[in-house]
């Protein structure tokens, strides 16, 4: 059996690696090939390209990458037309993968899209494109299959791999000791994994930290850095504001940084779900490029009230959100202080997030592998 895969960014690479390992439990000699990162390659995927090649985002910013991405997609279609896989799995990167899936499906290749785009939240018209491109959508959120069912599209809830991977029990005191943090209060600061995010949010977050330092005598901050480039930029921002001595910077290490914090202040994204699954009270902010924000607002592309994922998964919104001009140092600092000063509220939030973690921890990689193999068998039976 041969499976084609294309994963976007580091998060997709980890999902792909888990899927490949689960597939091998059922089919030890399975062959996997496609666009893969380090984790997928270590799991045995033969890589035609790197996952980082798809790491572009926004409404306007990706335009300059279009020629390169179209060339990559043409090459993949050419390869899999000549050597059709038993199933193709597109992992994340919907703007790239859905077009590829559609072309392969039209050629008779069964296609799976792993991780539903947030089509229920914005650009809902994409659901029709998804239906034309895929035989099955693997969903990591429990409410997504019902959305697809309304449009006659096959979708399967597999659980969230992040909930499977993260520890159920955490010890903030032990992690702080390991990191050499001795302050009474600790706030985790996560300005984003992309340079554009750190550029827009880093100074705002640090100004909020200055306000917190003025309010609390014994407070410290810990920040995981996604790359050398973001670390260099954030260090420059720290130096400019004279805050180096108050921060502990980690290479990667988001899990340890989140566990160490009493409260987490972060750029909205996957980190918000990670923080919730680690049961930490969380505050989220985001700033888009001005033109992207303008277009999203004018064209009414966003269809939901909240922009952080945990707020869609709990009965009440527990993550305060600050978007664009609302993400000010004063607003963020006040939000952090409100949680630091309310022990009972932090405990309540932690308890709700623990229930969310239990709901999403379903053995996602194994369930995804079973869905892929079922599709392969159905296709072989009708061939």
- Long-range contacts of 128-135, Cβ-Cβ distance < 8 Å, separation of 24 or more: 129/98, 129/102, 130/94, 130/98, 132/102, 132/105, 133/98, 133/99, 133/101, 133/102, 133/105, 134/98, 134/101, 134/105, 135/105, 135/110, 135/111, 135/375
DSSP code at position 122: B
CA distances from 5 to 13, 15, 17, 164 (A): 10, 11, 10, 22
* Exposure string over 345-371, b if 16+ CB within 10 A, otherwise e: ebeebbebbeebbeebbbebbbbbbbb
Q: Note the pLDDT of residue 153.
A: 96
Q: Name 249's bridge partners.
A: 223
pLDDT in tens, the chain (383 residues): 999 999 987 788 899 999 999 999 999 999 999 999 889 999 999 998 766 666 555 444 556 657 777 888 899 999 999 999 999 999 988 888 999 999 999 999 999 999 998 887 667 788 999 999 999 999 999 999 999 999 999 999 999 999 999 999 999 999 999 999 999 999 999 999 888 899 999 999 999 999 999 999 999 999 999 889 999 999 999 999 999 999 999 998 899 999 999 999 999 888 999 999 999 999 999 877 655 555 555 445 555 577 788 999 999 999 999 998 899 999 999 999 999 999 999 999 999 999 999 999 999 999 999 999 999 999 888 86
Sign of the C-alpha dihedral computed for residues 264, 266, 272 and 278 taken in this order: negative
Bridge partners, 286 (sequence order): 323
CA-to-CA distance for 108 and 51, rounded, in angstroms? 25
Q: How far apart are CA 59 and CA 295, in angstroms?
A: 8
Task: Give 238's contacts (C-beta < 8 A, 6+ positions apart).
Answer: 206, 244, 247
Other C-beta atoms within 10 Å of 338: how many?
Answer: 14
């Amino acid at each position: 059996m041969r499976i084609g895969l294309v994963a976007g960014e580091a998060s997709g690479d980890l999902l792909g690696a888990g899927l490949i390992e689960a597939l091998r439990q059922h089919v030890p000699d399975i062959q996997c090939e496609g666009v893969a990162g380090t984790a997928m390659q270590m799991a045995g995927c033969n890589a035609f390209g790197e996952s980082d090649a798809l790491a572009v985002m926004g409404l306007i910013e990706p335009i300059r990458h279009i020629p390169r991405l179209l060339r990559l997609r043409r090459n993949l279609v050419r390869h899999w037309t000549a050597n059709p896989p038993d199933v193709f799995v597109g992992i994340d990167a919907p703007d790239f993968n859905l077009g590829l899936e559609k072309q392969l499906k039209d050629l008779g290749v069964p296609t799976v899209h792993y991780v539903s785009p947030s089509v229920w939240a914005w650009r809902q018209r994409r659901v029709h494109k998804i239906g034309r491109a895929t035989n099955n959508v693997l969903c990591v959120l429990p409410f997504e299959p019902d959305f697809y069912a309304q449009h006659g599209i096959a979708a399967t809830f597999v659980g969230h791999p992040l909930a499977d991977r993260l520890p159920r029990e955490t010890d903030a005191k032990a992690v702080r000791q390991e990191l050499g943090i001795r302050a009474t209060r600790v706030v985790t600061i996560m300005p984003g994994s992309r340079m554009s995010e750190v550029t827009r949010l880093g100074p705002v977050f640090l100004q909020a930290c200055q306000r917190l330092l003025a309010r609390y005598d014994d407070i410290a901050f810990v920040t995981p850095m996604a790359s050398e480039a973001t670390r260099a930029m954030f260090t420059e921002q720290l130096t400019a504001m004279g805050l180096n001595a108050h921060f502990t910077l980690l290479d990667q290490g988001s899990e340890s940084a989140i566990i160490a914090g009493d409260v987490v202040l972060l750029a909205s994204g996957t980190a918000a779900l990670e923080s919730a699954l680690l049961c930490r009270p969380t505050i989220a902010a985001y700033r888009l490029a001005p033109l992207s924000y303008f277009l999203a607002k004018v064209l009414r592309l966003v269809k939901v009230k909240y922009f952080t994922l945990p707020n869609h998964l709990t009965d009440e919104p527990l993550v305060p959100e600050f978007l664009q001009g609302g993400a000010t140092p004063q607003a963020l600092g006040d939000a952090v202080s409100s949680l630091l000063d309310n022990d009972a509220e932090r405990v309540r939030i932690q308890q709700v997030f623990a229930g969310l973690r239990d709901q999403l921890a379903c053995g996602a990689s194994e369930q995804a592998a079973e869905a892929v193999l079922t599709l392969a068998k159905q296709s072989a039976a009708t061939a």
